[in-house]
Amino acid sequence: MNLIVIVADSLRVDHLGAYGSSVKTPNIDRLAGEGALFENAYAENLPTMPCRTAWWTGQFLFPSRGWQPLEVDDVLLAEVLWSRGYRSALVTDTYHMHKPGYNCGRGFDSTLFVRGQEYDPWVLEGDVDLEEFHRLRGDESDAMWRGRFEQYLRNRTRFTSEEEHCAPRVFTRAMRWLEDASQRQRDNLFLWIDSFSPHEPWDPPSPFREMYDPDYDGQELIDPVPGPVQGYMSPEELAHTRALYAGCVSLVDKWVGIFLDRLRDLGLYDNSLIMFTSDHGEPFGEHDVVRKAGALRYDYLAHIPWIVRHPQGLGAGKRFEDFVQPPDLMPTVLEALGAEHDLKFGGRSLLPILSGQRESLRDFAITGWFERGSAIRTEDWTCFLDHGADEPCELYSRRDDPAEKHNLAGECPDVCAELGARLKDFAKEASAPQD
């Protein structure tokens, strides 16, 4: 069996057709129809790099580790599969993974980095017009964001066609690797495709640029400074920025489809365990915030898509309401591939759910920012606990208030106390040394 994992960074579940959105994602929707869709997948440790550590180690690390390189004694998914004869590749434009010292290629036979995303120092010279696509806030943050914005504008001078944008290059490189690898072996291939899109900057090529707001004639803010929307962006500007994001989602979907069609052409599709997921979502004005500003734990950031297509049809066409989390990926993969091991995981395999042997793995999900705050979600409630605080600070009804707008912490102290205690107990258990 082969393993294909496709990550689309910063992808909100409410921008996928399979999750009820009007955004055009026919290829991901088709994959969901052929596989299992998890309706309550939640990020465990935010944001980008902590989530990848959870995927690759199978551990809940939000109480003990934040944004940092992999540790020497981490046992990684790619390393385990390499030791069992898998030929593997990581293909990504997530430029944080390219940074010296992070060693994200550890365990992969091939690591292919696509350059130019976001603030990647790729194109180092050239004059750019900052005001064309960006607006600073006029405060102390300008010094940092000006340089970042200018770097991206230099990078985008290389994007003269759709195929030269980052997401298309990622999937093209992935297809080339598969074409070469499949000439040598048809089984035991492991490909991790890590697309930074639809992460900002939201700068899709035509026709995706005009797809969701064709009549807009104002300034395009493709990469707003994170923080409050009020006093910074007009409602029309915010709506257009979200439309650009939706265009990026549809662009990614197109290239997911091209990649999956190539997988079929190569005769590898039916013998591959395929997963599609994301690390977190993205705020667009909810709670008056754009982009990831502060230790946000709301549903639009924590809720992630997760689709699993098993080659034997386990869970095919079904939608599961169980709480599942990124640390579940590694134990799921190893069980599905029949890879024996003596590792101990914080996460749990999804196979018993997919096969109908078990109804659920857990009755809550945890989302955290290291040393900033955490959240627990049950069937009925969402509860936030700030780092170092004794009592929860926010409480929302998942049934009556899915947008998490009405804080009930003051009205339901008993619920807060119970959920706060469960959250603390889980964090303590997750922090305990592994035997």
297 and 345 assigned to the same domain: yes
Domain boundary, last residue among 300, 331, 359: 359
423 and 294 assigned to the same domain: no
The answer to whether 279 and 7 have CB atoms below 8 angstroms apart is yes
300 and 401 assigned to the same domain: no
What's the token pair of residue 339? 């890879």
Rounded distance between C-alpha atoms, residue 73 and residue 330, angstroms: 16
What's the token pair of residue 45? 């440790």
Side chain identity, residue 324: V
Q: Which residue range(s) make up the domain with 67?
A: 2-359
Residue 143 counted as domain residue: yes
pLDDT tens track for 239-294? 999 999 999 999 999 999 999 999 999 999 999 999 999 999 999 999 999 999 88
404 and 320 assigned to the same domain: no
Confidence of residue 434 (pLDDT cuts 50, 70, 90): low
182 and 246 assigned to the same domain: yes
Rounded distance between C-alpha atoms, residue 431 and residue 63, angstroms: 6
Residue 365 counted as domain residue: no
Q: Considering Cα of 171, then 174, then 180, then 183, what sign does the dihedral take?
A: negative
Domain boundary, last residue among 312, 330, 359: 359
CATH number (domain holding residue 402): 3.30.1120.10
Residue 369 counted as domain residue: no
Q: Look up the pTM and report it.
A: 0.97
Rounded distance between C-alpha atoms, residue 359 and residue 352, angstroms: 8
CATH number (domain holding residue 329): 3.40.720.10
Burial class (CB in 10 A: 0-12, 13-18, 19+), 28: buried
pLDDT tens track for 10-48? 999 999 999 999 999 999 999 999 999 999 999 999 999
Total structural domains in the chain?
A: 2
Residue 79 counted as domain residue: yes
CA-derived radius of gyration, the chain: 21
The answer to whether 276 and 305 have CB atoms below 8 angstroms apart is yes
Residue 241 sits at φ, ψ, to 5 deg, of -60, -40
pLDDT tens track for 359-411? 788 999 999 999 999 999 999 999 999 999 999 999 999 999 999 999 999 99
387 and 349 assigned to the same domain: no
Helix H or strand E encompassing 177:
helix 166-184
